[in-house]
Amino acid sequence: MLFCHNAASFYPDRDPMTDAVHTLKGRFRGFYPVVIDVETAGFNAKTDALLEIAAYTLKMDEQGWLVPDQVFHFHVEPFEGANLEKAALEFTGIDPYNPLRGAVSEKEALTEIFKGIRKGMKEQDCGRAIIVAHNATFDHGFVMAAAERAGLKRNPFHPFATFDTAALSGLALGQTVLAKACQSARIPFDNKEAHSALYDTERTTELFCHIVNRWKSMGGWPPAHPDDDTTDAPADDEGQE
């Protein structure tokens, strides 16, 4: 499903720009944003099962507008010994052991997602990926815990930094709930489809693109001081705040 794929059409009076600040690397200080949503069997990333994950990578189009790129989506098998909270399963409607889900292990799902992300990072010359999510601490925690359980040492994501669309929506749109933020941004949102990792990732991607592109269209990007360095984020900046 495509959205924001022709963002330039919304701003026909703006000229194409190809300098460094209008690349993905330049726009986010060397970070490679990836929109993530997870569905789980509880709130504890260490003990509760990860059941579904979707990830959307992003890119800049020829005119410097942020657009979706590639999507990854997996139903996930509960890890051995995982806790399955009844209330959480009733909320999401997921039957973890339904064979029709086509679920894969955490390791298989994350290996494929990380592989695609590293490829995108290389193509965009970015030093580290960063999770974009709605209430991002939750999704970040589950991704990191699953990667640790799977023994994946080449985790491309920053260990603690995120872009939280709940906070960004509160600033830009006056709303923090995903459905209401989308409504404010005139992005269609079907509550019957919500709480599917794929659907929520698609909507969150569209929302993030909307906020970033709107800030640009209002003159907020590039920054007022174009000589400021915005492209030299080190690849190993785990300790930076």
Tens-digit pLDDT profile for residues 171-194: 999 999 999 999 999 999 999 998
* Alpha-carbon 225 to chain mean position: 28
Please identify which of the residues 140, 158, 195, 210 carries the catalytic annotation: 195
Task: Note the pTM of the prediction, 2 decimals.
Answer: 0.86
Q: Which residue has the higher pLDDT, 50 or 16?
A: 50
Q: Does domain 27-216 sit in CATH 3.30.420.10?
A: yes
Helix H or strand E segment including 52: strand 50-60
Helix H or strand E segment including 66: strand 66-75
| φ, ψ dihedrals at 27, nearest 5° | -70, -35
Model confidence over 21-54: pLDDT tens digits? 789 999 999 999 999 999 999 999 999 999 999 9
**How much is the pLDDT for 202?**
98
The answer to the question of whether 241 is labelled as a binding residue is: no
> What is the Cα–Cα distance from 100 to 78, expressed in whole angstroms?
15
Q: Where are the domains of the chain?
A: 27-216
Q: Is 195 part of the annotated catalytic residue set?
A: yes
The answer to the question of whether 200 is labelled as a binding residue is: yes
First to last CA, the chain: 35
pLDDT at 167 over 80: yes
Q: What percent of the chain has pLDDT over 90?
A: 80
Average pLDDT value over all residues in the chain: 89
